[in-house]
């Protein structure tokens, strides 16, 4: 039985033509697991780059770096980025390569390329004291970093200047938070919808009055906003300055006012927490004299100037002064004349 079993095993090991079966390859079988080291993708990328097709090579380099730890792939991808004019990705790849291989045979060439890109991009470059040298630990000054100075400073035009000092994590986090607030708030540097409520004191054609209402606005850029408003308007005068012809009491009228306006903002600080407002508004008012029951319609175009302060992400207070002209469409309540007013508003950004 033992001989028969051995013979059966021997027969199974032979091929159909009587020759021994070929041994199984190491990269075959149910227990074999293929590990992608990125070599094939890297070779494909370098072949494309050699043909001058860096745009297609970048995708292959990216695939290779998902599994490859070979920093020469980063170097070669950086060369492609540089050829395509992608300065910042190229600098990132060159820095990664030089950190791992600072003494490589081509490190001086890559370092020179990095310095040229830094100088071109305004983020560094070679030292004005002479050629680049490799710094040792003994060359690093022992002076402590100033952790109290801000990360950035305003250049006077509302734009942050370059980093010049070190900064604590909390200070840097606060700076990023302020920046996020500014670029996402329609009241600051962002775009979007704004809701407001306002009260307005005015003198129109010599008659004192007030207006209360609400506005819906849309900021479509960092400096420009269109808006519409609607409110209740009331005028009252007992001195006869704007008396309707044929009456003896003056003006006692109220009605609805609707306006369309434009606002231009001039920021006073980096994050638009404070701004000067310049704008124009055209308002239509439908009024009714409460003593005589006479209706009247007027249009009041006006120019506006004011100031806004924003709290947090999107709560603002506005104070504006305006001057315009009353144009009577139908006679009965307010005659033609000058219009002067002042407005206070609470605005909320979405």
- With a cut of 90, say whether residue 22 has pLDDT above it: no
Residue that terminates a domain, selected from 103, 127, 151: 127
In eight-state DSSP terms, residue 133 is: -
Share of the chain above pLDDT 90, in %: 42
Q: Are residues 122 and 263 in the same domain?
A: no
Range of 4-8, 18-22, 248-252, 320-324 with top mean pLDDT = 320-324
- Does any domain span residue 6? no
| pLDDT tens for each residue of 188-215 | 988 999 999 999 999 998 899 999 999 9
* Residue ranges of E strands in the chain: 192-204, 207-219, 224-237, 251-267, 274-289, 295-311, 315-330, 337-349
Query: Does some domain include residue 92?
Result: yes
Q: Is residue 292 part of a domain?
A: yes
Name which residue leads in pLDDT, 130 or 220. 220
Q: Which of 150-154, 248-252, 283-287 has maximum average pLDDT? A: 283-287
CATH of the domain at 115: 1.25.40.10
* CA–CA gap between residue 67 and residue 115 (Å, rounded): 29
Do residues 249 and 238 touch, judged by C-beta distance below 8 A? yes
Residue of 208 and 140 predicted with greater confidence: 208
Quick one: which of 22, 26, 43, 23 has its CA closest to 35? 26
| 197 and 92 share one domain | no
- pTM summary value: 0.51
Which residue would you say has higher pLDDT here, 176 or 219? 219
The position carrying tokens 């952790």 is 147
Task: Assess if residue 95 is contained within a domain.
Answer: yes
For 93, the domain range is: 39-127
Indicate if the pLDDT at residue 54 is higher than 80: yes
Q: Has residue 34 been placed in a domain?
A: no
pLDDT value at position 164? 39
- pLDDT tens-digit series, residues 142-172: 444 333 333 334 444 444 444 433 445 566 6
The CA distances from residue 141 to 28, 80, 124, 144, 166, in Å, are 58, 36, 19, 8, 14
The pLDDT of residue 133: 46
> 306 and 220 in one domain?
yes
How many domains would you assign to the chain? 2
* Residue 140: band (very low, low, confident or very high) from pLDDT cuts 50, 70, 90: very low
Q: Report the candidate in 58, 63, 20 with the shortest Cα–Cα distance to residue 41.
A: 63
Taking CA 201 as the corner, what is the angle to CA 198 and CA 204, rounded to the nearest 5 degrees? 125
Together in a domain, 209 and 318? yes
pLDDT at res. 249: 53
Residue 106 shares a structural domain with residue 198: no
- pLDDT higher than threshold 60 for residue 244: no
Distances (CA, A) of 244 to 66, 178, 208, 266, 283: 83, 55, 15, 42, 22
Task: Let me know if residue 339 belongs to a domain.
Answer: yes
Name the more confident of 127 and 237. Answer: 237
Whether residue 293 lies inside any domain: the answer is yes
Q: Is the pLDDT of residue 26 over 60?
A: no
* Three-state SS at 203: strand
The pLDDT value given to residue 293? 81
Q: Which residues contact 84 (CB under 8 A, 6 or more apart)?
A: 54, 55, 58
Q: What is the pLDDT of residue 234?
A: 94
Continuous H helices in 138-252: 169-184
Q: Are 328 and 338 in contact (CB under 8 A)?
A: no
Using the predicted structure, report yes or no on whether residue 24 has a pLDDT greater than 70: no
Which secondary-structure segment (H or E) carries 87? helix 87-100
Domain identity same for 69 and 214: no
Q: pLDDT higher for 184 or 344? A: 344
> How much of the chain, in percent, has pLDDT values that exceed 70?
72
Q: Same structural domain for residues 80 and 199?
A: no
Residue 7: DSSP 8-state: H
Q: Which of 111, 127, 143 is the last residue of a domain?
A: 127
- The confidence score (pLDDT) of residue 174 equals 74
Scan for tokens 């390859």, then name that residue: 25
The last residue of a domain, from among 127, 142, 170: 127
Together in a domain, 213 and 321? yes
Q: Of the segments 13-17, 18-22, 65-69, 78-82, which one has the largest average pLDDT value? A: 78-82
Average pLDDT of the chain to the nearest whole number: 79
Same domain, 307 and 210: yes
Task: Identify the pLDDT of residue 200.
Answer: 94
- Reported as a pLDDT band with limits 50, 70 and 90, residue 39 is confident
- Domain at 239, CATH number: 2.40.128.100
Answer yes or no: do 231 and 328 share one domain: yes
- State whether 215 and 294 are in the same domain: yes
Does any domain span residue 112?
A: yes
pLDDT in tens, 78-130: 999 998 988 898 999 999 999 988 998 999 999 999 999 988 887 765 554 44
Same domain, 120 and 198: no
């Amino acid at each position: 039985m033992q001989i028969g079993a051995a013979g059966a095993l021997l027969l199974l090991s032979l091929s159909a033509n009587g020759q021994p079966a070929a041994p199984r390859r190491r990269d075959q079988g149910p227990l074999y697991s293929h590990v992608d080291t990125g070599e094939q993708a890297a070779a494909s990328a370098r072949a494309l780059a050699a043909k001058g097709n860096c745009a297609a090579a970048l995708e292959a380099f990216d695939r290779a770096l998902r599994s490859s730890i070979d920093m020469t792939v980063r170097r070669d991808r950086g060369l492609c980025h540089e050829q395509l004019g992608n300065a910042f990705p190229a600098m990132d790849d060159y820095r990664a390569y030089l950190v791992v291989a600072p003494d490589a045979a081509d490190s001086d060439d890559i370092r020179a390329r990095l310095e040229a890109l830094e100088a071109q991009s305004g983020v560094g470059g070679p030292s004005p004291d002479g050629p680049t040298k490799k710094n040792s630990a003994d060359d690093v000054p022992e002076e402590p970093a100033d952790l109290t100075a801000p990360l950035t400073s305003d250049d006077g035009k509302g734009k942050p200047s370059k980093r010049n000092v070190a900064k604590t994590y909390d200070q840097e986090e606060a700076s990023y938070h302020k920046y996020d607030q500014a670029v996402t708030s329609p009241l600051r540097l962002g775009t979007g919808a704004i809701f407001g409520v306002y009260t307005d004191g005015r003198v129109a054609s010599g008659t004192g009055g007030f207006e209360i209402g609400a506005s819906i606005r849309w900021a479509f850029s960092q400096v420009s906003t269109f808006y519409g408003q609607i409110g209740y308007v009331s005028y009252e005068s007992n001195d006869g300055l704007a008396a309707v012809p044929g009456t003896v009491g003056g003006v006692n009228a109220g009605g609805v006012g609707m306006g369309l306006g434009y606002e231009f903002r001039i920021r006073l600080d980096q994050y638009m927490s404070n701004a000067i407002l310049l704008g124009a508004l055209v308002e239509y008012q439908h009024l009714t004299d409460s003593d005589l029951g006479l209706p009247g319609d007027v249009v009041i175009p006006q120019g506006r100037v004011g100031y806004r302060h924003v709290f947090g992400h999107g709560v603002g207070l506005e104070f504006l002064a305006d001057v315009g002209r009353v144009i009577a469409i139908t006679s009965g309540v307010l005659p033609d004349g000058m219009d002067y007013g002042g407005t206070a508003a609470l605005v909320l950004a979405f």
